Every structure is written in C-alpha cells, then in structure tokens.
Amino acid sequence: MEQRQLLQNSFPVVIEQPVLWGKDKNIHKAENYKALVDSPTGNVFSIVTNDYKIIRHEEAIEFMDNELAKTSDLGRYEAITYLPNNGARLVREYNFPERTVNIVKKDLVHPKIILYNSYDQFFSLTILLGAVRLVCKNGLVTGKIFFRMKRKHTCPIKEINIRKNLSVAMENFNLQTEIWKHWSQKPLPRKSFFKVMDVMSLSQQKADTVLDRLNSQSTGKDKDGFPIITIWNFFNILTAHITHETASINQRVVMESRLRKAIVNFQNI
C-alpha cells in the first residue's frame, strides 16, 4: 500500500475535562457532561455527554488502514489527510488507481474511500466510497453512495466490520460507471440544468462562472439558444468547481452533499 505519511505531532492531543459552571465561589460541576479539549492549546472542541467515546483520528486511520490491508479487491492505495478546524475534523481520502475505468476516450475514473471523524461533532465516524476523475482530479459524487457506514461515538471502533461490504460497494461503483457512460452520450436538458443549479445554491458570481464554462465547453446552441453539452460534461464542470474552487475542506463537504441531492434530476434521462 502507498500513502502519504503524517507526522504524529500533526494530530491534536485530545483530553477529557469536567464542565464547570457558575461564578466566583459558586462553581459547580455539570453532571453527565464533559469537555473535549486540545491539551497543548486549551482549545475546547465540544461539550459531550459522559457516554461519548473519543475515537481519535490516529485510531480511525489505523483502523481503516488495517482493514484495507486485509482487502485485496481494491489493490494498492494512495492516501492524503486533511485536518481542518485546527485538527477538530479529519478527512482522509484513499484513492485506488488499479481499479481505473474508462468513461469515454481518455476520460478515466477510479474509486475513492473517504474517512471522516471529528472531535467537534461535525462528523460522526463515517466511511464513504466515491470516485475520482483523473483528467483534472475532480472528486466525483453520486446520488446513491456506493457504500456508507456511519457510527456515533458511543460505539467502539473495533465493532465495525467494513470488509464484507466492500465487494458490494465495488459492484455499485461498476454500475455507476455505466450510468456515467450513459451520461456521456446524453445532452443536458435545459430543465435539468436549472433544477440542479437551484439545489446547488451558488452565489451569482459562481453561477456565472459555471455558465461561462458551460458555454465554452458546448458544441453549439439548440433552437432555444441553450448550450449543447452532455450531462457528463456538466457534471464535471460542477465537480471541478467543488474540488478546486471551494474555500475550505468544510465547504467542499457541504457542496458535495448538495450535488449528491441535485443529480437526482439526471435520473430517467
């Protein structure tokens, strides 16, 4: 397996501390609650109930790496890790270049697993299987996720079994690539374009940028003056925007969620 290594000291050192309330001499301990604190900085990540179990980022990564090491279906991987919000959140992406599929000529995709975790309760421990387009390294999202496993931090990580789900997940990935091939042959309907853009809720400036790219990549205009472009190309204009032009990894996660909802408008085309 190949991966980009992380320095151990890049992770926050999370400790549990009691939650106190009151003023001056009237200080009381909050029953049934505790604080998750970054020890070196004193930064409070969140206030949680006492039954909340810390799943450390290092622990989540070690678990995922070990599970993948026992799985031969996906082949070798390359991994990159993000620690946004001062390390409160973990986003780790595993790419599998040996499972590359050709959508159209010289337009390749391969599967990607994304591991999420957090100390500020923004993410539960979540594992998703998605895909990457190799032309410009867009992160592709789908309406129906190939594989999703989500666990609250009250469940021990050792009780999670993902290996038995990965073969089914890869079958779903292969089915999705057939849908993408279909999209590469289908023109984008005007009605679907506006429905998708409505769900994406882009600013006017960003919406104008998407429309400019739609026009520049089109092969002409239809009788109503709408750009002639395939659903696949429009889809990749949006994923390129999300992958390369969002301000932060947090915003990217939000935009990917919107796109996942938006592309239901491509069904039955």
Residues 41 and 123 in one domain: no
- In the chain, the number of structural domains is 3
Q: With beta carbons less than 8 A apart as the criterion, state whether 89 and 118 touch.
A: yes
| 141-198: pLDDT as tens digits | 544 454 555 556 656 666 666 776 777 777 778 888 998 999 999 999 999 999 999 9
Distance CA 44, CA 30 (A): 16
Which tokens belong to 129?
Answer: 């299987």
Residues 166 and 127 in one domain: yes
Average pLDDT (215-227) is 94
- Which pLDDT belongs to residue 143? 43
Residues 231 and 249 in one domain: yes
- Which pLDDT belongs to residue 3? 44
- Which pLDDT belongs to residue 248? 82
Residue 208 falls within a domain, yes or no?
yes
Domain boundary among 121, 151, 176: 176
Q: Which of 26-35, 82-91, 260-269 has the lowest mean pLDDT?
A: 260-269
Distance CA 37, CA 47 (A): 9
Residues 131 and 91 in one domain: yes
- Which pLDDT belongs to residue 159? 66
Residues 61 and 107 in one domain: yes
Strand partners, 20: 29
Residues 84 and 156 in one domain: yes
- How far are the Cα atoms of 85, 87, 125, 194, 253 from residue 91, in angstroms, in the given order? 11, 10, 10, 31, 10
Average pLDDT (253-258) is 87
Residue 201 falls within a domain, yes or no?
yes
Please give, one letter per residue, the 3-state secondary structure of the chain: CCCCCCCHHHCCCEEEEEEEEEECCEEEEEEEEEEEEECCCCEEEEEEECCCCCCCHHHHHHHHHHHHHCCCCCCCCEEEEECCCCCCEEEEEEECHHHCEEEECCEEEEEEEEEEEECCCCCCEEEEEEEEECCCCEEECCCCCCEEEEECCCCCHHHCCCHHHHHHHHHHHHHHHHHHHHHCCCECCHHHHHHHHHHHCCCHHHHHHHHHHHHHHCCCECCCCCECCEHHHHHHHHHHHHHHHCCCHHHHHHHHHHHHHHHHHHCCC
pLDDT band at 257; cut points 50, 70, 90: confident
Q: With beta carbons less than 8 A apart as the criterion, state whether 262 and 235 touch.
A: no
Average pLDDT (188-217) is 94
| 1-46: pLDDT as tens digits | 444 444 445 899 999 999 988 887 788 888 899 999 999 999 999 9
Q: Which of 115-119, 131-135, 140-144 has the lowest mean pLDDT?
A: 140-144
Residue 14 falls within a domain, yes or no?
yes
Residue 249 or residue 84, greater confidence: 84
Residues of the domain holding 24: 10-49
Residues 172 and 65 in one domain: yes
- Which pLDDT belongs to residue 228? 96
Distance CA 133, CA 12 (A): 32
Q: Which of 106-110, 133-137, 176-180 has the lowest mean pLDDT?
A: 133-137
Residue 162 falls within a domain, yes or no?
yes
Residue 71 falls within a domain, yes or no?
yes
How many other CB atoms are there within 10 angstroms of residue 24's CB atom?
A: 5
Domain boundary among 120, 144, 176: 176
Residue positions counted in the chain: 269
Residue 55 or residue 162, greater confidence: 55
- How far are the Cα atoms of 84, 110, 132, 232, 260 from residue 107, in angstroms, in the given order? 31, 11, 11, 11, 21
- Which pLDDT belongs to residue 176? 85
Residue 221 or residue 244, greater confidence: 221
State how beta strands 43-49 and 89-95 pair: unpaired
Residues 18 and 98 in one domain: no
Residues 164 and 242 in one domain: no
Residues 86 and 102 in one domain: yes
Residue 149 falls within a domain, yes or no?
yes
- Which pLDDT belongs to residue 253? 82
Residue 182 falls within a domain, yes or no?
no
Residue 1 falls within a domain, yes or no?
no
* pLDDT(62) > 50: yes
Q: Residue with structure tokens 């309760």? A: 121
What mean pLDDT, rounded, does the chain reach? 84
Distance CA 52, CA 72 (A): 34
The pTM is what?
A: 0.74
Residues 27 and 88 in one domain: no
What is the spatial order of strands in the sheet that 26-38 belongs to? 14-23, 26-38, 43-49
Domain boundary among 108, 142, 176: 176
Residues 43 and 116 in one domain: no
